[in-house]
Every structure is written in C-alpha cells, then in structure tokens.
Amino acid sequence: MPPDTIFDPEPGFAALLDGAGLGDFDAWWRLNMPTVEPGNERRGGWSAVVRHTLGGSGGSPFGVYVKRQQDHVYRSWRHPWRGRLTGEREMRVMRQCRALGIHTAQPVLYAQRRAGGHVQGVLVTRELAGYRALDELVLDWQRTGPPPRGQRRRLLQAIAIQVRALHAAHLEHNCLYPKHLMISTAWLAGDETAAVVALIDLEKCKWRWRRQTCTLRDLDSLNRRSVGWSRTDRRRFLGWYLDAGRRLSRRDRRLWKTLARRAAAGARQSVDTASSTA
C-alpha cells in the first residue's frame, strides 16, 4: 500500500470487498455511479455520495452508500492547520456510537490517501434498509392519519433515549433534524424486536466538555424543526430525555422555557424574513 494511504474495512467485510474487486482505494475512487443528492462544495473541498450494491453472504445483495471527499476537512484545536476529513470523524463517531448501543448505519470501510497535494477519503456505510426518515413519515401521517397514540408515544420515547445516550457520551449531533432520524418501518408495523430509531449524518458531530451544551444545541434544533408534535408530545419527549418521569424539576422547567422561547423567536424570524421578501 502506498505511504499516506489508509484502507480500513470493518471486520467481516475485507474478503467481500476483495471478491467484488473493491479491495483498494483506487477501485472505490473510480466507481462510476450517479450521486444520490447534489454534492457539497464547502470547507475548501468537495464531498459527494453515490449508492452501490454489494453481494452479501450467500450472494444476497445489499446497498451501500459511498461518500467520497477531497479536502473536505474540519479543523479543531488538535488539528488547527491541515485539519481532518469530515468522513474520518463520521466513521469514528459511528464506531463510538455503536459501541455505546446507539443505532447508526453499519460502517463498511474507511479509506484515505494523499494524492497530487490533496487529501482524499472514502466512507462506505451499509444502507439502512427498512428505515424511513422521520420527516417523510410525518408528511405521510398528515395525509393518512397518525399512528396509534400509544405507538407515537413509544416512538418519541425511543428517540429521546437515543439522543440522551448520545449526549451522555458528550457527543453533540450538531445537525439533529427529523430528516436525520431514521425510523424502522418493521417496528411501526408491529415488530417489537426491531431497533426503532437510527441516527445518521454524523459528520458534524462534536465532543463537548459540558453535556448541557449538547442538550441546548440539539434539542433546540429538533424542537424547531419537528412538525406535528403537540405541546404534550414535546413535554413528554423532554421528560423521557431527562429521565425525569412525569414531573420536571425547577432546572428542567427552565430548560423547557428556554426551548419554547427559542422556538418562538425562530418562528417570528421566519415570518419577518418571509414578509421582507414578499
């Protein structure tokens, strides 16, 4: 392997990748597939995602998402100058989350190299088959009617528990929107053994010294963008997140008021912006 090259498949995938002719960096970099969404040209570089199909054990195929990047870096106090690829951080966070029992997409491979003065990276994750984004489900429920009340409450509780576990590790998602909460359609159909919710898009995830920083940032983002949640839903969600039962402490009530105040300010700002552009 050339110097400055990393090729790190997850356990159990190395032989499969070799058999598919994808056992080196160049093979993934040259993969010719249409992107699944517009590429991201920021951070002094670019990042784009394609979907590919691999043969599984016994020949059963499964989908993977391939994120390829060049110079798409973040900088931190540890790496203030050259930075690190955001895909490297995403892989590290996914591994950490799965070790903590937080459900995410299954990592398959992380690879990186330096070529022509650029740093290039490939992150491969297994497709979350049988999962749909929460915002898509809510749109469907607005047309067809919501799921039963008990199931809706269990769903909110499952989301709250996963977010609480993330923050207990001092990890701030930093982009906690309903579109990044993937919900199991098997669980919605009655399969209680399925993992209810999976977190995706972890490339902006940050470690924070204070857990309260994670709480304010992520719960504010989720609260502002959650459509169709009643005030009671939001109150219950906060109680499950705080593991506070049916009664909130004085400190918890301050958090509740802060989130409500920020949501109201954001709504007013949206109305003012729409009025000024009309």
The pLDDT profile of the chain, 278 residues, written as one tens digit per residue, is 555 789 999 999 999 999 999 999 999 999 999 899 888 887 789 999 999 999 865 668 999 999 999 999 987 766 666 789 999 999 999 999 999 999 999 999 999 999 999 999 999 999 999 999 999 999 999 999 989 999 999 999 999 999 999 999 999 999 999 999 999 999 999 999 999 999 999 999 999 999 999 999 999 999 999 988 989 999 999 999 999 766 788 889 999 999 999 988 877 765 455 455 55
pLDDT tens sequence across 151-183: 999 999 999 999 999 999 999 999 999 999 999
122 phi/psi in degrees, rounded to 5: -135, 125
* pTM (two decimals): 0.90
In whole angstroms, how far apart are CA 250 and each of 230, 240, 241, 247, 253?
22, 16, 16, 10, 5
206 phi/psi in degrees, rounded to 5: -130, 145
> Residue 50: which H helix or E strand, with range?
strand 46-55
How confident is the model at residue 244, as a pLDDT? 74
Distance, in Å, from the CA atom of 132 to the CA atom of 21, rounded to the nearest integer, reads 31
How confident is the model at residue 211, as a pLDDT? 96
Distance, in Å, from the CA atom of 261 to the CA atom of 174, rounded to the nearest integer, reads 20
8 phi/psi in degrees, rounded to 5: -125, 80
How confident is the model at residue 79, as a pLDDT? 62
Other Cβ atoms closer than 10 A to 136: 13
